Structure 1
Amino acid sequence: MNKTQLIKLAESWFSKQNWKAFPFQKQIWNAYLKGENGLLNAPTGSGKTYALWIPIVLEYIKNNPDYKEKHKKGLKAIWITPLRALSVEIEQSALRFAEEMGTNFTVGIRTGDTPQKIRAAQKRSMPDLLITTPESLQLLLSSKNYGKTFKNLNAVVVDEWHELLGTKRGVQVELALSRLKTISGKLKIWGISATIGNLQQAREVFLGPESEAFKNSVLIKANLDKKITVRSVIPEEMEKFPWRGHLGLHLIDEVVPIIKNSRTTLLFTNTRSQCEIWFQKLINKYPEFAGDVAMHHGSINRETRLWVEQAIRNESLKAVVCTSSLDLGVDFAPVETIIQIGGPKGVARFLQRAGRSGHQPGKESVIYFLPTHAIELIEASALQKAAKKTAVEDRIPYLLSFDVLVQYLTTLAVSDGFFPKEIYPEIKSTFCFNSITEDEWRWILNFVTKGSQSLQAYDEYKKIEIEEDGKFKVNDRGVAMRHRLQIGTIVSDAMLSVKYVTGGYIGTIEEYFISKLNPGDVFTFAGRNLELVRIKSMQVQVKRSSKKTSKVPSWMGGRMTFSAQMSELLRQEMYEAAASVSKGTDSAELKALKPILKRQQKESIVPDNSQFLIETFKTREGYHAIFYPFEGRFVHEALASLLAYRISLLSPISFSIAYNDYGFELLSDQEINMQQVLDNNLFSAEYLMDDLYKSLNATEMARRKFRDIAVIAGLVFTGYPNKMIKNKHLQSSSQLLFSVFRDYEDDNLLYQQSFRETFEHQLEEGRLRIALERIASQEIIWKNCEKPTPFSFPIITDRLREKLSSEKVEDRIKKMLKQLEK
């Protein structure tokens, strides 16, 4: 069969389903059958699975004319997905086409959820298409004779590449692809990505900047007009002094009609704790929803998650309160409406969530934005414009992640071993390690065999042996087993499983939350009030409780920050808000904000694009200085420490620091001489790295970052299943190593990496520099106010929340509001 006949086959199958192939799907079928690699840029729900699965099957039909009588066994294609939840969808779509074509193709799933029995069967006989995750693919590379498994591989498809780019899981994929390209000479590699700002670079990272695969590649865009409608849920009465305390719950009555008028609604929250609270409040206030509303987040057990996903598909649920666990690709055609609770912190995430509704080509997506406090309405207004322009973020790729490289080399040494001369060109062909030097490579080889200079006396760090023929190999079964248990780059706090005393698994919870509780304390989890009975061998044993008050777990993932794109949009909207106070506005959000903006104008100013606002005032807590860069909490964290350090050089003052996405506060028991701050140009970008280093205790931050690096590189072992090592022990082991490297081996590449990642990824040093340069070009307006202003109020109340329990915070804020409203 020639290419035209093959494509006719696909088109006639499409017309049997009453579908019509999109131009981008045909483009990909053509490109793939010509032998090209590429990246597809397509929104969710546009038919991207068929865009890539169909040509894989068509090529098999072309190469095996007697395919209906004879089935050629063996792995032909791998589909990599970052989320286990997506694998069932992909399996169903793939099987449907393959079966109806009469190919006898088999499709298998291999993720962390796959039972051991199925894995063993796959080892004996691989399916034709394997759907897997980056971690499970690395595990396959750690098995003996993996070359045999992959030698007839024709295609690798990486789904949701925008989610992997800019993470260490993305680096894992880069390295795995570099190996597969060598094993299978005829391999075609395709990525699928939603819209990101740096699409061209995304393709380069994916295929390797100087590789043959990149030279023979295309970028195909699915130019489908996806109509996204953003509607803000605006409170009838606007508070004059906004604060984040009620998590949007004061608008719960506005949400219920939206749920009742839709077939199915997804309510997205930003954190798992917020998800738990919203679910509880909905059921308590509207008991008729019991059984019709469910909850979905990553810590709930797998059976419950799968049940919820299936219930959405067959429309037996009215609404699901969820987190980013339902962000990606799961195809829920019945979902009609999305509600986003609180600012999503990024344009891409917002558009991704919007696309979960009307999840079919040509359908309109409707998303309601529900502000958790009034100033978030400015975000809502900004997001409406972003949705029209599709202005989305870049994803910044990782460079020289030596911890991932150490793990990868150990993986290869655990299976069949490797020769450095053969592997080095492959590694250098990836984007992450394109600039690795011969010296760095020698250091890494030295490290995996001898454990670096300062650890040479300890045998436990000598994992890989060099055999007589020069092959690098792990021969110790204990080392191999521990390594396989620890493959992966997602390092979270130690997770403990939550079980009833009588048996029955509920889900997982982070150790740092449980460590604060005593037996008898009640907490809310998976929508139930549970009493802690005891913690025993990594298990949290609980029983149901009828107590009304309870603590809600907070997971470390709750610290999301604005993306650079979102900050830029917010500032533009802020400047428009400044103009709207005097001129009026068309935007419903800015109209609703009028009382707050007028009050802000009266007490201080609403800054425009040429102004940088500083407010100072005194309360019984002390002297407050508040600065408004509108750059997101990570940048503000660094900026606040930097400024506090520079002020302390002028006069010895100590500060407590608070920050949110809009600004930051320095609070002191003595007055800051603000004129002196302005005269000495303390917002200068000069000596930035030096001052950051001193101000932030960068060594302490790097020490925390080093824990993750040490785990990924296998320097510390996290433990066996059901016998995990406690977080504090992991921390102390990694801190000990960090101190050894600092004192005796400061040229250690992993030690240096911990500082580099702290500055590049945590403090976003590049963004900080740009922010300082922008402030330098603005007119600094310092307002000495009599009392807190509407803009400063959310920052002050956030700081109180860190100190006081939620009931006390509410009482305290009510008192403050009474005084301010006078």
Structure 2
Amino acid sequence: MNREQLFDLANQWFEQKGWKPFPFQAQTWTAFLQGKNGLLNAPTGSGKTYALWIPIVLDYIQKNPDYKTKHKLGLKAIWITPLRALSTEIKQAAERVINDLDLKLTVGIRTGDTSSAERAKQKNKMPDLLITTPESMQLMLASKGYENLFKSCLAIVIDEWHELLGSKRGVQTELALSRLKTIAPAMRIWGISATIGNLHQAMQVLLGPESQQLEKSVMIRAYINKKINVHSIIPDKMDSYPWRGHMGLHLIDEVAQIIKKSRTTLVFTNVRAQCEIWYQALLEKYPEFAGEMAMHHGSISRETRQWVEQAIRDEQLKAVVCTSSLDLGVDFAPVETVIQIGGPKGVARFLQRAGRSGHRPGEESNIYFLATHALELVEASPLRRAVKETVVEDRIPYLNSWDVLVQYLVTLAVSDGFYPKQIYNEVKSTFCYQAMTEDEWQWILNFITRGSQSLQAYDEYKKVEIEDDGKFKVNSRAIALRHRMQIGTIVGDAVMNVKYMGGGYIGNIEEWFISKLKPGDVFIFAGRKLELYRTKNMEVLVRRANPSAKAQHASWMGGRMTLSAQMSELLREELYAANTKKMSAELKALAPVFKRQRKESIVPNDSEFLIETFKTREGYHAIFYPFEGRYVHEALASLLAYRISLLSPITFSLAYNDYGFELLSDKEIDMQQVLDNDLFTPQHLHYDLQQSLNATEMARRKFRDIAVISGLVFTGYPGKVVKTKHLQSSSQLIFEVFKDHEPDNLLLLQAYRETFEHQLEEGRLLLALERIQQQTTVWKQCEKPTPFSFPIITDRLRERLSSETLADRIKRMTASYMK
């Protein structure tokens, strides 16, 4: 068949479904059939799967003219997805095409959820399309004879590439691709990405910065004008002193009305604890939602999550309260409305969530933004603008992730072994390791064979043996088994399975939360009140609690997110607009807050940097407003506290949120001295940060993850997981050994580098200081706290008070400040 006939086949299939291919789909088909690699940039719900699965099918038909009678066995294509939840959906879409075109192709899934029987079957007879995750892909590279499985592969598609790019899972994918390019040189590489700012760099990372694949590559963009309507839920009465503590629950009636009006609504929260609280609150106030509303987050059991996803598709549910577990790709046609509770902190996340509604080509998306406190309303208008102008964040790729490379080399040594010269060239062709030197490579090889300079005396670190012909190979079955069990780069806090005493799995919860409870305590998890019976072998045994029992909500460590760089810039622009006549509806609604703020201080404009000082019963407060996001403020607060302490000895307690940070002390800061000494200078930033932040302690925490990924510490066997505190102490011990005896150890240096680059966002911090240098500092000595400072103060109180007493305390504080 020629290309025209093949396209006719595809177009007829689209017609049967009552659809018409988009230009970007036809462009992708053409490029793929011409043998090109590429990156497809298309919004969620626009038919990305068919853009790439159809040309794979057409290519197969072209190569096998008698495809209806004969079928050539062997793997034809791999589809890598970051989320296991997406695999079923991709399989259904692929099988739809196969069945309608009467093809003999098969589709298989290989993820952490795949049974061992299914895996064994796949090993003997690979499906034609294999849908998998980065971790499962690495596991396959750890199996003997993997080259035979992959050599017939003609295409690999990396779905949701933007999600993998800024993470070590992206590095894992780069390394797997570098190996597959050698095994299957005819293979075409395609990435699919929705929302991302640095598209061209994303393509470089995918294909390798100077590879042949990049030379014959193409970027295809879908120009689909999808209309996204952003509505703000504005409260009738605005607090003059806004605070963050009420989770937005004061607007629960408005949310219930939106749910009642729509076929299906997804209510997105930023964190799991908030998800649990909102689900419970809606059920208590609106019992009629029982049976029509469900909850979905990553800690709930897989069966429950899958049931919820299917129930949305079948229109059995009116509402689902969820977290980012439903952010990606899952195709829910019935979803009419999305509600975002609290600032999403990033434009890409907001767009992704908005795209969940009207998830069909040509349909409009409706998203409601509910601010959890008054000041958060400022974020609504910038989000609307970002949606209109498609201002999206860049994803910063990792460089020189030595821990992932160590894991990968041991993976290859566990399967068929490897020759360093060949693998060096492959690894060097990736974006992550393009700057790796021969010395660094030699260090890594020494590390996996001898356990680095300071661990040479311990046999357990000598994992890989060098055979007579120079091949690097793992010959110990015990080492191979432990390595396979620990493949992956997602290192979370130890999780414990929650089960009923009579059997029945509910989900998993972090060890640190359970460690605070004693038997008989009641907690709310997965929408149920559960009484703790006992913990045993990383299992939490529970029974149903009395519905009227007092209970606390389960909480998770990863509960604080920060504003992205793009989002903070948009937020500053919006806030400065409060001083102009061009005000959005949200800014107009915030009039009482701004009026009060101006009475006590000022609302800064774009050329001003605001500092406020005042005294309360707690001590002397100094509050600074860079509007740069939580993480940057955390670093800035420590930096400034350190620099002030060099002028005169003083101790501070620090507090910060997305808008600013506070230094609280029992004696007054000489602010004039701070200004005269130019303490916001970007000079000596790196050194001062190291001194101020106990960078060693932060690097020590970061090193735990690096130690797990590189296999320096073992996380345990199923059912016998090593407790977090033991992991922490083992990795700390190794950290100290490296720090004292091997300061140039690459994994140790990586821990410091990642602390500064990824946790403290040093690059962003530098830009913030340079911006502050250009602005005029306005120092306001206030009589009492201002509306801008109030969320920071109350946030600190929240650490000490329960929510009931906090609400009462805030009422009293507000009343006294309003006098």
TM-score normalised by length of structure 1: 0.99
Matched, 1:376 2:376: yes
Residue pairs, 1:235-634, within 5 angstroms: 235-546=235-546, 547-579=548-580, 583=581, 585-634=582-631
Preserved CA contact (<8 Å) 2:522 2:549: no
Preserved CA contact (<8 Å) 2:703 2:731: yes
Question: For residues 616 and 142 of structure 2, what CA distance do their matches in structure 1 show?
Answer: 61
Partner-residue secondary structure (3-state), 2:190: strand
Moved more, 636-645 or 518-527: 518-527
What residue number does 1:153 align with?
A: 153
Partner-residue secondary structure (3-state), 2:418: coil
What residue number does 2:50 align with?
A: 50
Matched, 1:28 2:28: yes
Residue pairs, 1:213-232, within 5 angstroms: 213-232=213-232
Matched, 1:719 2:719: no
Structure 1 residue 256, shift from structure 2 partner: 0.9
Which residue identity is paired with 1:701? M
Matched, 1:797 2:794: yes
Question: For residues 27 and 767 of structure 1, what CA distance do their matches in structure 2 show?
Answer: 38
Given candidates 728, 731, 735, the residue that maps to 2:732 is 735
Structure 1 residue 206, shift from structure 2 partner: 0.6
Structure 1 residue 306, shift from structure 2 partner: 0.3
User: What's the CA shift string for 1:449-508, capped at 9, x where partnerless?
Assistant: 000000000000000000000000000000000000000000000010001112110000
Structure 1 residue 548, shift from structure 2 partner: 4.1
Question: For residues 549 and 720 of structure 1, what CA distance do their matches in structure 2 show?
Answer: 36
Question: For residues 533 and 289 of structure 1, what CA distance do their matches in structure 2 show?
Answer: 30
Structure 1 residue 588, shift from structure 2 partner: 1.2
Matched, 1:702 2:699: yes
Question: For residues 166 and 747 of structure 1, what CA distance do their matches in structure 2 show?
Answer: 26
What residue number does 1:693 align with?
A: 690
Structure 1 residue 114, shift from structure 2 partner: 1.1
Structure 1 residue 69, shift from structure 2 partner: 0.5
Partner-residue secondary structure (3-state), 1:654: coil
Question: For residues 410 and 802 of structure 2, what CA distance do their matches in structure 1 show?
Answer: 47
What residue number does 1:73 align with?
A: 73
Residue pairs, 1:652-663, within 5 angstroms: 652-663=649-660
Question: For residues 763 and 556 of structure 1, what CA distance do their matches in structure 2 show?
Answer: 18
Preserved CA contact (<8 Å) 2:195 2:352: no
Question: For residues 420 and 700 of structure 2, what CA distance do their matches in structure 1 show?
Answer: 31
Which residue identity is paired with 1:366? N
What residue number does 1:173 align with?
A: 173
Structure 1 residue 517, shift from structure 2 partner: 1.3
Which residue identity is paired with 1:18? G
Given candidates 778, 785, 790, the residue that maps to 1:788 is 785
User: What's the CA shift string for 1:593-639, capped at 9, x where partnerless?
Assistant: 00100110111000000000000111111111000000000000000
Which residue identity is paired with 1:290? A
Partner-residue secondary structure (3-state), 2:553: coil
Which residue identity is paired with 1:750? L
Matched, 1:233 2:230: no
Partner-residue secondary structure (3-state), 1:409: helix
Matched, 1:821 2:806: no
User: What's the CA shift string for 1:36-88, capped at 9, x where partnerless?
Assistant: 00000001100010000001011111111111111111111000000011111
Moved more, 557-566 or 480-489: 557-566
Structure 1 residue 738, shift from structure 2 partner: 0.3
Question: For residues 449 and 579 of structure 2, what CA distance do their matches in structure 1 show?
Answer: 62
Question: For residues 520 and 380 of structure 1, what CA distance do their matches in structure 2 show?
Answer: 43
Which residue identity is paired with 2:648? S
Preserved CA contact (<8 Å) 2:607 2:775: yes
User: What's the CA shift string for 1:296-350, capped at 9, x where partnerless?
Assistant: 0000000000000000001000000000000000000000000000000000000
Structure 1 residue 552, shift from structure 2 partner: 1.5
Structure 1 residue 804, shift from structure 2 partner: 2.1
User: What's the CA shift string for 1:787-816, capped at 9, x where partnerless?
Assistant: 110000000011111122222222222221
Partner-residue secondary structure (3-state), 2:509: strand
Matched, 1:771 2:768: yes
Structure 1 residue 550, shift from structure 2 partner: 1.6
Given candidates 747, 759, 762, the residue that maps to 1:750 is 747
Question: For residues 578 and 198 of structure 2, what CA distance do their matches in structure 1 show?
Answer: 30
Structure 1 residue 98, shift from structure 2 partner: 1.3
Aligned residues: 818
User: What's the CA shift string for 1:104-161, capped at 9, x where partnerless?
Assistant: 1110111111111111111111111010000000000000000000010000000000
Question: For residues 135 and 303 of structure 1, what CA distance do their matches in structure 2 show?
Answer: 21
Structure 1 residue 586, shift from structure 2 partner: 4.6
User: What's the CA shift string for 1:391-431, capped at 9, x where partnerless?
Assistant: 01000000000000000000000000000011000000000
Question: For residues 8 and 742 of structure 1, what CA distance do their matches in structure 2 show?
Answer: 65
User: What's the CA shift string for 1:215-251, capped at 9, x where partnerless?
Assistant: 1100000010010110000000001111111100000
Question: For residues 144 and 808 of structure 2, what CA distance do their matches in structure 1 show?
Answer: 63
Preserved CA contact (<8 Å) 2:195 2:351: no
Residue pairs, 1:4-19, within 5 angstroms: 4-19=4-19
Structure 1: 5+ residue runs without aligned partners? none
Structure 1 residue 515, shift from structure 2 partner: 1.2
Moved more, 39-48 or 10-19: 10-19
Which residue identity is paired with 1:101? L
Question: For residues 195 and 455 of structure 2, what CA distance do their matches in structure 1 show?
Answer: 45
Question: For residues 343 and 579 of structure 2, what CA distance do their matches in structure 1 show?
Answer: 20
Question: For residues 700 and 574 of structure 1, what CA distance do their matches in structure 2 show?
Answer: 36
Structure 1 residue 818, shift from structure 2 partner: 1.8
TM-score normalised by length of structure 2: 0.99
Partner-residue secondary structure (3-state), 1:803: coil
What residue number does 2:2 align with?
A: 2
Partner-residue secondary structure (3-state), 2:558: helix
Structure 2: 5+ residue runs without aligned partners? none
Question: For residues 560 and 476 of structure 2, what CA distance do their matches in structure 1 show?
Answer: 41
CA change 1:548–1:600 in 2 (3 A) is farther
Which residue identity is paired with 1:184? A
Preserved CA contact (<8 Å) 2:450 2:456: yes
Preserved CA contact (<8 Å) 2:296 2:325: yes
Partner-residue secondary structure (3-state), 1:336: strand
Which residue identity is paired with 1:499? K
User: What's the CA shift string for 1:725-774, capped at 9, x where partnerless?
Assistant: 00000000000000000000000000000000000000000000000000
Which residue identity is paired with 2:644? I
Partner-residue secondary structure (3-state), 2:219: strand
Structure 1 residue 578, shift from structure 2 partner: 2.8
Question: For residues 808 and 540 of structure 1, what CA distance do their matches in structure 2 show?
Answer: 30
Which residue identity is paired with 1:796? I
Partner-residue secondary structure (3-state), 1:791: coil
Question: For residues 278 and 6 of structure 1, what CA distance do their matches in structure 2 show?
Answer: 51
Preserved CA contact (<8 Å) 2:577 2:583: no
Question: For residues 434 and 550 of structure 1, what CA distance do their matches in structure 2 show?
Answer: 53
Question: For residues 699 and 163 of structure 2, what CA distance do their matches in structure 1 show?
Answer: 25
Question: For residues 223 and 191 of structure 1, what CA distance do their matches in structure 2 show?
Answer: 17
Question: For residues 549 and 437 of structure 2, what CA distance do their matches in structure 1 show?
Answer: 61
Structure 1 residue 520, shift from structure 2 partner: 1.6
Moved more, 113-122 or 303-312: 113-122
| 4+ residue runs over 6 A deviation | none
Structure 1 residue 539, shift from structure 2 partner: 0.3
Question: For residues 250 and 413 of structure 2, what CA distance do their matches in structure 1 show?
Answer: 57
Structure 1 residue 557, shift from structure 2 partner: 2.2
